[in-house]
Structure 1
């Protein structure tokens, strides 16, 4: 089924170029000019178009996966723009396309040189070839069977060449209006599928995270491997699990394009009505932009203001909270924080702060300890390497203590924190042959002026786990709020401005009421004079 999509693209794009080349060739031949130069221009246009397609494909293949998704999104968006412009232009000019081309060729030949016609053929082939390269590359990316897609493109281009030859020789009569109108319906659906594919690759590239909720399950309608799946997914680009933003994108493309292309000519608005319609739609878009901008709420990070902490033994030890640049612990302990940079904690990007908790006030730590004091500092046990009979004490004591507070924040909220108190004492003398370093037990009774290691604590792990989950939820809400409350209003505002500019330009081309009345009066006077 992929062959059908690329066949129609190749046939339609190729036929437009073939028509231009065929008419120019007929004019050159009729007026005695050689076709060699024209064919060189045609060949150059084809070569450049092929080079563009190959270059885009090579560059895309050389990129990492995420960058490939980005490039596929850009190529898909450009392809949609190209095919949209082509459909709209053809809806207005398909009936008189051949006459317009012949008039342009006659004008160029009337200037006395065939160079303009050769350039015309080159540019026509280059334009159609470049559009085809981008459009087909986007179709190949969305296709699950590249081989059949390429075969369809070759068949379509080959068919357009044969039709062009037939028209050139006069053996084929083709109603271009009906041909382009019929293929427009198919191209609108293909382009809408590319819109869906571009939105999905934009999500995979990390550009679009809003509107990703699933809408309906279409696996029953298009089972994997079936012909229906080939039609819906392969040709029309409709996935079996469409997301909200993809459904909206598909509808917002198909409905306006179908109205533009297939609204009955007899019921189409006149020049004045068309201007009023554009102004009305522009006003609706502007109002919609304001409403969505105001109505969509901002995302909020919902986490507790205080975090529970546990001590070195795992027991609950109160709570801590952040107050500006100060960390406050239940019980009145406060520590001023200093920024230390950024750090990643359990996969979360945070701001890192440090602090030095205030030490207990009191007398200077003793420089001498008895054996009983040393045993108390070691949790009631005689330290290893100390023999009461041989090393009875007293001992000279050299104290060492570090007290470090680390705090990590995210979005101005406390994410994690810990206080690590490490105390030790080096003993000499008292019968010791060599110095002994004793690490103070957490439950030790410390001398005045020293902080017990038991003062160490950390934020409860379940709090950081809940914070991480809240961050993920906040990121999704923020992306949705940005898309619906900022991107969508901006798009509506740009659409309103574009429609306003188009309407004003069209208004300048429409005669004023006074000019129409004057023209009518002159026409009436002329008819009266002629009758007299």
Structure 2
């Protein structure tokens, strides 16, 4: 859970800080630093709103627990979080290149209109989106205990690392491009999304929402149990301790969706998810390459027309 919290908090905080940095840098470059305080006002209000969302979310989760329906809410959160994480990675891959230009276009409009309210609302919505996503993902990786994730060293470390990266990026000492940076962290997020998806499928099978053709394809509890409890039970039942501690199993379960006794459906969903992601990326790259080729051909045709027209004029 700690590593998941670190990666999610790092990713969301970094995205928020980079966007704020772009806004503030642009305002200073346009000689309008007086608007900076309104940007920070919107960001502060969004942070408070995000904490409010976390509180409400925790109350709802507790209510479902009292109604003995928390398992169904947990399943929903895991599946939705997996989809949101996947969408977030693809969205950032698509928009990271044009994000700066789009932001600056909106800011120019606000400055021209003298809209302080627009500046506050824009920064508020940017930070609120990241905050709400973080709360939702924390609910998924902790099984509903959002407070546990908020108080973890992973969340704190994620914020600190993201702040340091943002600082050095805007100071010009960070040479790596945003596109490459988000590609690397995106790959890690995809792994977490796959794990959440598989855990959701496993929980649905546990409560009988879906069945299984083969409930247990293999059992490697002797090697790496999923949890210290599984370690203790295996030791009690067989008199032999598993080779690796259950604490290590918790780590791999949280990070990779590891299961010591997976069903056939869990295996198919896990590898099918990565196959689907690969297919989507390949299709998008093919489309992008085709578009680049078409643009080059169009440019060559236009250049040829210009050259031809100049020859006609000279004649």
Larger % of strand: which?
Answer: 1
Distance, in Å, in 2 between the alignment partners of 1:8 and 1:163 is 14
Cα–Cα, structure 1 residues 124 and 174, in superposed 2: closer, same or farther, change >3 Å?
Answer: farther
Could you report, residue by residue, the CA deviation over 1:476-532 in whole angstroms, capped at 9, with x for unpaired residues?
xxxxxxxxxxxxxxxxxxxxxxxxxxxxxxxxxx99xxxx99x98766433201234
Alpha-carbon offset, residue 117 of structure 1: 3.0
Cα–Cα, structure 1 residues 222 and 122, in superposed 2: closer, same or farther, change >3 Å?
Answer: same
Tell me the SS of whatever aligns to 1:141. Answer: coil
Alpha-carbon offset, residue 188 of structure 1: 0.8
Alpha-carbon offset, residue 208 of structure 1: 2.1
Distance, in Å, in 2 between the alignment partners of 1:149 and 1:239 is 27
Distance, in Å, in 2 between the alignment partners of 1:258 and 1:150 is 33
Distance, in Å, in 1 between the alignment partners of 2:8 and 2:149 is 16
Does the 8 Å contact 2:195/2:254 carry over to 1? no
Alpha-carbon offset, residue 147 of structure 1: 6.2
Cα–Cα, structure 1 residues 88 and 147, in superposed 2: closer, same or farther, change >3 Å?
Answer: closer
Tell me the SS of whatever aligns to 1:33. Answer: helix
Distance, in Å, in 1 between the alignment partners of 2:98 and 2:302 is 31
Aligned length: 287
Aligned to 1:4: 3
Alpha-carbon offset, residue 176 of structure 1: 1.3
Question: If the length of structure 1 is used for normalisation, what is the TM-score?
Answer: 0.48
Match runs of 1:487-506 below 5 Å: none
Match runs of 1:244-393 below 5 Å: 244-261=264-281, 263=282, 268-270=285-287
Relative contact order, higher structure (CA 8 A, sep 6+): 2
Alpha-carbon offset, residue 70 of structure 1: 0.6
Alpha-carbon offset, residue 124 of structure 1: 0.8
Distance, in Å, in 2 between the alignment partners of 1:105 and 1:173 is 26
Larger % of helix: which?
Answer: 2
The alignment yields a C-alpha RMSD, in angstroms, of 3.4
Aligned to 1:531: 311
Alpha-carbon offset, residue 101 of structure 1: 3.5
- 1:181 equivalent to 2:183? Answer yes
Cα–Cα, structure 1 residues 112 and 171, in superposed 2: closer, same or farther, change >3 Å?
Answer: farther
Aligned to 2:43: 42
Alpha-carbon offset, residue 76 of structure 1: 1.1
Could you report, residue by residue, the CA deviation over 1:420-462 in whole angstroms, capped at 9, with x for unpaired residues?
xxxxxxxxxxxxxxxxxxxxxxxxxxxxxxxxxxxxxxxxxxx
Aligned to 1:31: 32
Distance, in Å, in 1 between the alignment partners of 2:125 and 2:185 is 23
Does the 8 Å contact 1:73/1:201 carry over to 2? yes
Cα–Cα, structure 1 residues 70 and 227, in superposed 2: closer, same or farther, change >3 Å?
Answer: closer
Aligned to 2:21: 22
Does the 8 Å contact 1:142/1:197 carry over to 2? no
Does the 8 Å contact 1:217/1:241 carry over to 2? yes
Cα–Cα, structure 1 residues 102 and 190, in superposed 2: closer, same or farther, change >3 Å?
Answer: same
Does the 8 Å contact 2:38/2:120 carry over to 1? yes
Cα–Cα, structure 1 residues 201 and 227, in superposed 2: closer, same or farther, change >3 Å?
Answer: closer
Does the 8 Å contact 1:140/1:149 carry over to 2? no
Distance, in Å, in 2 between the alignment partners of 1:198 and 1:132 is 19
Does the 8 Å contact 1:88/1:260 carry over to 2? no
Q: Which has the larger radius of gyration?
A: 1
Cα–Cα, structure 1 residues 123 and 219, in superposed 2: closer, same or farther, change >3 Å?
Answer: same
- 1:236 equivalent to 2:256? Answer yes
Alpha-carbon offset, residue 228 of structure 1: 4.1
Alpha-carbon offset, residue 220 of structure 1: 4.1
Cα–Cα, structure 1 residues 104 and 205, in superposed 2: closer, same or farther, change >3 Å?
Answer: farther
Does the 8 Å contact 2:35/2:116 carry over to 1? no
Aligned residue among 193, 197, 200 for 1:198: 200
Could you report, residue by residue, the CA deviation over 1:256-298 in whole angstroms, capped at 9, with x for unpaired residues?
224445x599xx3236979xxxxxxxxxxxxxxxxxxxxxxxx
Unaligned runs of 5+ in 2: 226-230, 232-244
- 1:219 equivalent to 2:229? Answer no
Distance, in Å, in 1 between the alignment partners of 2:35 and 2:301 is 53
Cα–Cα, structure 1 residues 222 and 98, in superposed 2: closer, same or farther, change >3 Å?
Answer: farther
Could you report, residue by residue, the CA deviation over 1:118-162 in whole angstroms, capped at 9, with x for unpaired residues?
32211110111111111121011189xx56983212221232233
Tell me the SS of whatever aligns to 2:215. Answer: coil
Distance, in Å, in 1 between the alignment partners of 2:85 and 2:191 is 11
Question: If the length of structure 2 is used for normalisation, what is the TM-score?
Answer: 0.77
Cα–Cα, structure 1 residues 110 and 51, in superposed 2: closer, same or farther, change >3 Å?
Answer: same
- 1:69 equivalent to 2:71? Answer yes
Alpha-carbon offset, residue 215 of structure 1: 1.4
Does the 8 Å contact 1:28/1:114 carry over to 2? no
